[in-house]
């Protein structure tokens, strides 16, 4: 039987992440990897509209405002929305490694409730890399970068190529994305060897 280890602790042989020499400069706004993305897409009316910036090393910061549409309990953010914000923030670390990676595993701690209208400040960094496996961690704080911790997550991202999306995505969106020069440019900006 094939037994898969699901630990998010980097295994023996994992190495420190290396910031790509062409990575966006610290402080630079990263923009959306896809304008319809629920996490970062500016054209996605139902989305989080996360604004993410490159940090030092292999790290990013991000911010989003919890809207009424993000509620679970009355006046409070839905846990799945908060997990999505953490996931999206860690996903943006691919800009700094210049790889495309998708979430394989995500573990989230919900530390305190997050009211509607809160500005959630997120930070994430890559802890270690082993082959295609990227181990990352993220924190979300209420009201400011030094505010109280509301959510935390650890994740394992797996590096993929553009073919992953071409093989699995709905053809109408894939074809539209591939015929959009801006989208192709973004996909290439993620990849060392497009």
Q: Give residues in contact with ligand MYA (CB under 6 A).
A: 4, 6, 33-34, 87-88, 91, 100, 102-105, 131-133, 156, 158, 160, 162, 165, 177, 183, 187, 190
| CB 75, min distance to ligand MYA, A | 27
Give the nearer residue to ligand MYA in terms of CB position, either 88 or 154. Answer: 88
| CB 184, min distance to ligand MYA, A | 7
Give the nearer residue to ligand MYA in terms of CB position, either 22 or 146. Answer: 22
Give the nearer residue to ligand MYA in terms of CB position, either 113 or 133. Answer: 133
Distance (Å) of CA 102 to CA 57, 59, 116, 121: 20, 17, 28, 22
| CB 156, min distance to ligand MYA, A | 5
According to DSSP, residue 4 is labeled P
Q: Going by C-beta distance under 8 Å and a sequence separation of 6 or more, which residues neighbour residue 105?
A: 6, 8, 155, 156
Question: Which of helix, strand or coil describes residue 143?
Answer: coil
| CB 92, min distance to ligand MYA, A | 8
The secondary element (H helix, E strand) that includes residue 168 is: helix 162-168
* C-alpha–C-alpha distance, residues 68 and 66, integer Å: 7
Instruction: Write the DSSP assignment of 30-64 as a string of letters.
Output: ---SSTT-TTT-TT-TTS---EEEE-SSSEEEEEE
Closest CA to 82 of 113, 43, 127, 40: 113
Output the residue with the shortest Cβ distance to ligand MYA.
91
Give the nearer residue to ligand MYA in terms of CB position, either 38 or 113. Answer: 38
* C-alpha–C-alpha distance, residues 9 and 156, integer Å: 9
Give the nearer residue to ligand MYA in terms of CB position, either 33 or 141. Answer: 33
| CB 111, min distance to ligand MYA, A | 22
């Amino acid at each position: 039987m094939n037994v898969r280890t699901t630990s998010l602790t980097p295994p023996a042989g994992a190495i420190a992440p290396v910031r790509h020499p062409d990575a966006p400069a610290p402080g630079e706004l990263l923009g959306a990897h896809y304008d319809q993305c629920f996490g970062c897409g500016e054209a996605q009316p139902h989305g989080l509209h996360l604004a993410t910036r490159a940090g030092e090393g292999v790290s990013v910061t991000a911010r989003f405002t919890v809207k009424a549409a993000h509620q679970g309990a009355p006046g409070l953010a839905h846990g799945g929305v908060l997990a999505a914000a953490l996931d999206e923030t860690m996903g943006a670390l691919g800009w700094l490694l210049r790889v495309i990676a998708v979430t394989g595993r995500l573990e989230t701690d919900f530390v305190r409730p997050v009211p509607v209208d809160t500005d959630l400040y997120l930070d994430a960094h890559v802890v270690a890399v082993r082959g295609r496996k990227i181990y990352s961690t993220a924190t979300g704080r209420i009201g400011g970068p030094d505010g109280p911790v509301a959510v935390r997550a650890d994740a394992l991202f797996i590096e993929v190529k553009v073919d992953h999306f071409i093989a699995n995505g709905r053809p109408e969106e894939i074809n539209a994305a591939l015929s959009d020069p801006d989208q192709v440019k973004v996909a290439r900006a993620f990849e060392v060897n497009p």
